[in-house]
Structure formats: C-alpha cells, structure tokens
Amino acid sequence: MIQVLADGVVAASFIVLGVVGLSMIYNILNFPSFAQGDHIATGAYIALGIVALAGTAGSIAGLSFGWPLIGALFCATLLNGLLALLIDRSIYRQLRLRNASRISLIMASFGVALMLRNLIVLFAGHDPQYYAFAIQPALGIGGARITPNDLLAVIVTAVMVVALHLFLSRTTLGKSMRAVSENPSLARVNGIDVDRVIRWTWLIGAGLAAIAGVLLGLSVQVNPSMGFELLLPMFAAMIVGGVTSVYGAVLGALLIGIAEAVTVQYIAPEYRQAVAFLVVILVLLVRPQGILGEKA
Amino acid sequence: MDILSYLVFFSVVSGIYAIATLGLNLQWGFTGIMNVGVVGFFGVGAYAAAFLTGPAYADAFGGFGLSPLAGYLGAMIASGLVALVVGLLTIRLRHDFLAIGTFGAAVCIQLLAMNLKPITRGFDGLHSLPRPFAGLAATPVAANACFLAMVVAIIAAVVWALERMVRSPWGRVLRAIREDEEASAALGKNAFAFRLQTFVMGSMLMGLAGALYASFTGFVSPQDLLPILTFQVYVMLIVGGSGNNYGAVLGAVLIWALWTMTETFLGAVLPAGLKQQVSALRVVLVGLILVLMLLYRPQGLLPERANVSREARLQG
C-alpha cells in the first residue's frame, strides 16, 4: 500500500513538472497545447545530446549519473525554453496577430506536437536511449522502496513547486502573470507588458518540461513518444484540479499519479493511460469546475 | 499496368480518407465540434466490420461470416453507438474540453484494441477478412477497380446527402450553433441535440471509412489506429476547406497524394537505411503544411460558400 503510494508520487512528479506549463499556457494564452508532451521529450533529448558530448562520468551520492548530467539539465532547461519561444514567435504569435480562433491554436499545437516528435525521430531515431546504465539499489524509506533517481525526481519537483509558488506570489513578474491570466485586457490597461508575460510563460513552461523530461529519462528511458504519453495524464491533472489554478493542477497531478499507480498495481498495467481519461470524465460529470476551480 | 494498379490502389485509399474527412467536416466544418478522436471511430468501424464479416478465429471474437455490406452497416451502427456514449459524456463541454475528451476516448479505444487479446488478438490483428469483388473479378486489379467504383459511389451519395442536409433548415441551425451557440439557444434551438446528432452522424461516416479500409486491406490491427490518422484527416479538411464538402474530398486526395509521393520521392533520393527518417520527415512536412495553411489560408483551398435561404435572397 505504502509502495503504491510512493510509486504514485514518483509518477505524479513528472506530471506535475509538465502540467505547470500546460496550465500556464492554457490560462495566459487561452488554449490547451497538445504539444506540451513533446516539449518534455525535446528537453530530454537536448540533455541527451549534451550528455553524449560531455559523458556522464562519475556518480553522486548513489545516483546513476555525475556532474555532466546536472550541467546538461541546466542547459536543456534553458535551450528548451528558447525552443518554445522560437516556436511561439514563428507560429502561435503569428496566429494571435491574425486574431485566429482558439481552435486554430489547438490545431497548430497539434501540428507542432507531431513536428517536434518526428524531428526527434529524424535526428535520434525511434529506439529508446539511456543517460546511464548503472544499476541502482533501491533505498528503503518508511516501508517503501524507491531508487535514488526517483527520490531525486520527487525532491526536485517539490523544490520547483515551492519556487513556483514564491515566484507567482512574491515577484512582480509572477503577479503580472496571474493578472494576465485573470484578465488580459485589464492587465494591459494597467501597464503590464503582456508580450513579456507570454515570453516568460513559454520559458518557464518549457523549462519545467525539460526538467520533467530529464528526470523521466533517468527514471525510465528516453524515447520519442515519452512526452506524448504524458499528455493525457497532464490534461487530466489540469481538468481535475480546475483549469484556472496552477495549484489545482499540481494537486490533480498527484491524484492522477496515484490513480495510475493503483491501476498498475491492482488492476492492469496496460490500461494505465485509460485511468487518466476515466478520472477526467468522472470529474467533468460530478464537479466540472475541478477540485480547486471556481464556478464559471 | 503497374501504374494503373497503383493509381487504383491510391484512389481507393484516398477515397476512404475522403469519407472520414466528410464525417469530420459535418462535425467540425459545419457544427464546430472539435473531435480529436477521429481514429477511435474509424477503429470501431474497422473492428466491427472485421468481427461481422471475418472468419472464425480460434482465439478471438467474431466469425459471423456476414456479407461485406452487412459489415459496413454494422460498422456504422457500432461507431454511431460509441459516438452516442462519448457524445453524451462530452458534447456539453466547451471546445477545448471536448477536444481533450475525444482525444482520450480514442486513446482508450486503441488501448482496448491492443490489450483485449481474447477479442481482438492484440497486435496480431484480425486477418483474412473477406474482400468484396475478390471472387467476382478476374484479376486483383479488376477487383480493386470494382472496389474503387463502390467507394466513388459512396462518396457521391454521401456528398449529395450532406449537401442537402446542410442546405436544409437543419443545416442552417448547425452553422448558427457554430457561430454563436448562445444566440441560437435564445432562438429556441436545442444546441445539445443538434451537436449530438452531427457528432453521431459524422462518427458513423468515420466508422464506415474504417470498415471500408478493413475490407479493402483484409486486415486490421492496432497499428491502424494511431493518432496520426486523426491528424491526417484534420489536415485534409483544413487544406481542402472546412465547411465545404467538395473541399473535404479535394483535401483528402491532395494530402494523400502528398503523403504517398513524399515517401516514394524521399525513398528514392535518400539511402535505403533511412526508412525511419523518411517517414518522420514526411510528418514534419505535413505538419508544416498545416501550420502554413492556418497562417496564410485558414479558409482552405475551397472556402465555405455563403449559404443564404431563398427568402433572404429574394429580399436582399
């Protein structure tokens, strides 16, 4: 039971890091991005490329990798953010300037998703890859067994969530982001630079996605559809938590992660992806505004 | 002869896509329902036809041995019923939630096809499905040509019926709902009922396309149910012109031509070891076309025609 909970929290941490971007993009740019999953994959592959150049020599405190990977993680976070910014500039921004409908933006993100995934295949192939092959003995913590890499994923996620909270509640930029997501026109009238807010939305959203990708790659493997497979759980987390709230999305991710772990353990591992869908349908029927959402 | 048989094969497949695209056009083009689960309904149709017409397998469901025609009808009923359930659950939702909901439904349908092994044989798929005209015609090419004639006839009938429907008062309500759901509700139109009707009817066409595909290739497996199919059908509709039935057919033929030609062309230019890369590059290319169309010609090659009732025309 405790093991299932621990597995759930680990699964949730990747969803959390991905869903923050999804939720911010949804609230600030007003569309669900079907490409968010593939931004996770691009992040993982950028780090993989850097590791291939620098190597993963050494190992820190029982983790399966050394300092080069930490460096790669930072570079991938930044580069993935810049990549998202480039995509926004060349595609989404052009659509916004043309006053395109929300549906056009969704379709465009669908196109971006497939382009990113297939560019990965083009450069790195279909086969799964690994940052390092070291076998890790699991640690026993309070009756649950967890590998150091997975524990790191949970800790990094927790730190990121706290950092995000401080950013959104304490900094001017964070407050502007919340203002824009509440009411873009009012924010603009009050002198908030909406374009700057949008730039930071992509940088943060895709940056966190890159961290999710690297951690997921360390935990399982790196493959081109690793992010796409997280898309449905992320959408589910966002809807379950109430789409208007980043915090709700984090809570939703936790719920979906645990629901997935329960399914894998007690029902059937092959239906893992279906759980997210069932939870969404259930929530939409019972409490359409989500757990932390406000009534429309 | 080779070219001819290739052309017939190409035309059949693009015709099958055209039927699915016409279904999506009814949902998205005319009513504004963003169904991102096209492949799910296509898959339900393909499997339903396989169960109904296929041989008795030792390790799977089916073996009813019905005629292909019964298979097509059964497929439409099956995908219509699935669409009814999915629609009842999701059709009230806002556009973006509906997109996510239908996307999830399609993922679940693919998971079922993969994992319900006692019924679907999993990745092994259902094979040896009877192919219509195979016994009647002298050569395989002639059989495919007969199949093509059937597909063309179906497309003609579907386009004719859809054109009549969207020009009727019923069709005007659809566009009213697409443009302003609240206003049409204020005029006493039950948007939910209209949306559900088009969702079910459009999905039945997607199911028919799936059934035709299964009976044309004689085989269906979860490999035929990949999300890329949904994407292809959307690109076909957007390129052709959403809201225009002729555009939907044109888009299907053009994009399928591009899809198959890029493979032939890239396969010829690039070394043989790069098969993966060729198919990846092709998706990137089609994605690029989608984005460029959205940016520079969102109305598509054949834009929707203004549809004015006779009374309004007389007054204007």
Examine the pLDDT at B1 and tell me if it is beyond 90: no
Task: Give the pLDDT confidence score for residue A59 in this predicted structure.
Answer: 67
Helix (H, G, I), strand (E, B) or coil at A126: coil
Q: What are the boundaries of each domain within chain A?
A: 2-286
For residue B6, being part of any structural domain is answered with yes
Tallying the residues shown for chain B, one arrives at 316
* Residues of A in Cβ contact (< 8 Å) with B103: 34, 232, 235
Overall domain count for chain B: 1
Structural element, H or E, at residue A12: helix A2-29
Among A278-282, B110-114, B265-269, the range scoring the smallest mean pLDDT is B265-269
Question: What's the rounded Cα separation, in Å, for the pair A274 and B112?
Answer: 9
**CA-CA-CA-CA torsion sign (A54, A65, A261, A246):** negative
In this prediction, residue A292 carries a pLDDT of 67
Q: What is the pLDDT of residues B12-69, one digit of tens each?
A: 999 999 999 999 999 999 998 999 999 999 999 999 999 999 888 877 787 788 888 9
Domain hosting residue B108, numbered range: 2-225
CA distance B63 to B95: 40
Average pLDDT over residues B299-308: 83
Residue pair A280/A260 in contact (Cβ under 8 Å)? The answer is no
Interface A-B: count of C-beta contacts within 8 A: 114
Min Cα–Cα distance to chain B from A151, Å:
30
Q: What is the pLDDT of residue B64?
A: 82
Residue numbers of B between 70 and 99 with CB closer than 8 Å to A = 89-90, 93, 95-97, 99
pTM value surpassing 0.95: no
- As assigned by CATH, the class of the A2-286 domain is mainly alpha
Cα–Cα distance, B304 to B300 (Å, whole number): 8
Which chain A residues are Cβ-neighbours of B288 within 8 angstroms?
Answer: 111, 115
Residue A236 with chain B: CB contacts under 8 Å: 104
DSSP state of B305: P
Amino acid A61: pLDDT: 63
Distance from CA of B235 to the nearest CA of A (A): 9
Beta carbons of A122 and B108 less than 8 Å apart = no
Write the pLDDT tens digit of every residue in B73-84.
999 999 999 999
Whether B217 maps to a domain, the answer reads yes
User: A26: which chain B residues are within 8 Å (Cβ-Cβ)?
Assistant: 96
Q: What is the mean pLDDT of chain A?
A: 88
Task: Decide if A270 touches B, using CB distance below 8 A.
Answer: yes
CA B218 to chain centre: 18
CB count, 10 Å around CB of B86? 26
CB of B185 within 8 Å of a chain A CB? The answer is no
Alpha-carbon span B73 to A61, nearest angstrom: 64
Closest CA to A87 of A207, A201, A193, A202: A202
Residue A86 sits at the chain B interface (C-beta within 8 Å): no
Between A57 and A268, residue with greater pLDDT: A268
Q: Does B276 touch chain A (CB under 8 A)?
A: yes
The Cα–Cα gap between B256 and B236 comes to 8
Residues of A in contact with B96 (CB under 8 A): 26, 31-32, 102, 106
* Distance (Å) of CA B229 to CA A216, B16, B224: 28, 12, 8
Asked if the structure places residue B179 within a domain, the reply is yes
pLDDT at residue A296, rounded to an integer: 45
Judged by a CB distance cut-off of 8 A, whether residue A276 touches chain B is yes
Place of tokens 């993963």: A56
Q: Please provide the distance, in angstroms rounded to a whole number, between the alpha carbons at the two ends of chain A.
A: 37
Show residues of chain A in contact with B104, CB under 8 Å. 232, 235-236, 276-277, 280-281
How crowded is residue A295: how many other Cβ atoms within 10 Å of its Cβ?
7
Q: Give residue A56's pLDDT band: very low, low, confident or very high (50, 70, 90).
A: low
The answer to whether B290 contacts A108, with C-beta atoms less than 8 Å apart, is yes
Chain B residues touching residue A115 (CB < 8 angstroms): 283-284, 287-288
Say whether pLDDT at B292 is over 50.
yes
Q: Do B96 and A271 touch (CB under 8 A)?
A: no
Specify the pLDDT at position A62.
Answer: 65
pLDDT (mean) for B161-165: 95
Q: Name which residue leads in pLDDT, A134 or B35.
A: B35
Residue B141 lies in a domain: yes
Reported as a pLDDT band with limits 50, 70 and 90, residue B92 is confident
DSSP A270-293: GGHHHHHHHHHHHHHHH-TT-SSP
| pLDDT tens-place string over residues A167-216 | 999 999 999 999 998 888 898 888 899 999 999 999 999 999 999 999 99
Selected for mutation to probe chain B from A110, A225, A234 (highest B CB count within 10 Å) is A110
Residue A252 pLDDT exceeds 80? yes
Partner residue opposite B111 with nearest CB, options A31, A95, A274: A274
The CA–CA distances, whole Å, from A65 to A13, A145, A155, A224 equal 19, 20, 16, 21
Task: Report the mean per-residue pLDDT for chain B.
Answer: 89
Q: Where are the alpha helices (DSSP H) in chain B?
A: 2-24, 38-53, 68-90, 95-115, 117-120, 140-167, 169-179, 181-186, 191-217, 228-240, 245-269, 275-296, 310-315
For residue B221 the two structure tokens come to 């497996």
In whole angstroms, what is the distance from residue A130 CA to residue B155 CA? 49
Considering the domain boundaries, does residue B102 fall inside one? yes
Instruction: State whether B104 and A280 contact (CB < 8 Å).
Output: yes
Q: Which residues of chain A neighbour B290 with C-beta distances below 8 Å?
A: 107-108, 110-111
Q: Which residues of B touch A95 (CB under 8 A)?
A: 294-295
Residue A164 has pLDDT above 70, yes or no: yes
Q: What pLDDT is stored for residue B314 in this prediction?
A: 67
Judged by DSSP in three states, A165 sits in helix
